Amino acid sequence: MAAVLFDFSGTLFRAETAESWLRAVLTETGHTLPESELTGTVRALEEAGALPGGAVPVELPADLTGLWAVRDESAELHRAAYTGLSRRVPLPDPGLHDALYERHMAPAAWAPYPDAAEVLRTLRERGTGIGVVSNIGWDLRPVFRAHGLDAYVDTYALSYEHGVQKPDPRLFAVACEALGTDPREVLMVGDSRPADGGAAALGCRVHFVDHLPVTERPDALLPVLDLMS
């Protein structure tokens, strides 16, 4: 195996909790909610699936079904899908829906898994090519830079930049081509079997990790080092 492709959310990084997300935005915008109301609002946002990288919608509104299916193909579609879900939940100010969307793109809203740096650093030391392949509607490179992991990544293949989303093999092909590597010599690491499993169509080997909170998944990436040795 000559290279490894990693998914972003749920694989190398995990988004903050919905409670942290809402509290941060309320603080930034000078709004307040009574604790009892805040708890209910957090629950409603989670059930709506309004936090990208968080829980999926419990029930997808019929008018957003089509948009949801292609949400990662452009920045505009991504914003429309998630703010559309957020707006199902009453907030003190309508402007908070856009503020919530902006917050989820901030480096502070993301935390790397505890073993991410070690795995990426070790792969780099071995001369292994490293790419990030993500279904996303915004530029995640600043997140990697802020957390000191950008230096380990050779290329990024982001769905919104190419108008195609996983499991479409074309997105994985973009990364393999950028790395100059035959897909049959590439390992794809991700948390979604439906999405990340698409790499197998190119001949990539695929390894899955669980999308768990950062505190509950300390070392799930370490087996990648053995798979590449």
pLDDT tens-digit readout, 34-68? 999 999 999 999 999 999 999 999 999 999 999 99
- Number of structural domains in the chain: 2
Report d(CA 89, CA 26) in Å as an integer.
15
Are 36 and 81 contained in the same domain?
yes
Shared domain check, 41 and 7? no
159 with 134: CB under 8 angstroms?
Answer: yes
Q: Dihedral through CA 219, CA 223, CA 225, CA 229, nearest 10?
A: 160
Position 1 scores a pLDDT of 84
Whether 229 has a pLDDT exceeding 90, the answer reads no
Q: What is the pLDDT of residues 95-136, one digit of tens each?
A: 999 999 999 999 999 999 999 999 999 999 999 999 999 999
8-state DSSP, 50:
-
**Does the pLDDT at position 140 exceed 80?**
yes
pLDDT digit string (tens) for 163-196? 999 999 999 999 999 999 999 999 999 999 999 9
Q: Is the pTM of this model over 0.85?
A: yes
Domain that holds residue 59: 16-108
CATH number of the CATH domain containing 131 = 3.40.50.1000
Q: Residues 6 or more apart from 57 whose CB is under 8 A from it?
A: 47, 48, 49, 68, 85
Q: Do 9 and 120 belong to one domain?
A: yes
Alpha-carbon distance of 78 to 136, in angstroms, equals 7
Return the ∠ at Cα 14 (arms to 132 and 30), rounded to 5°: 120
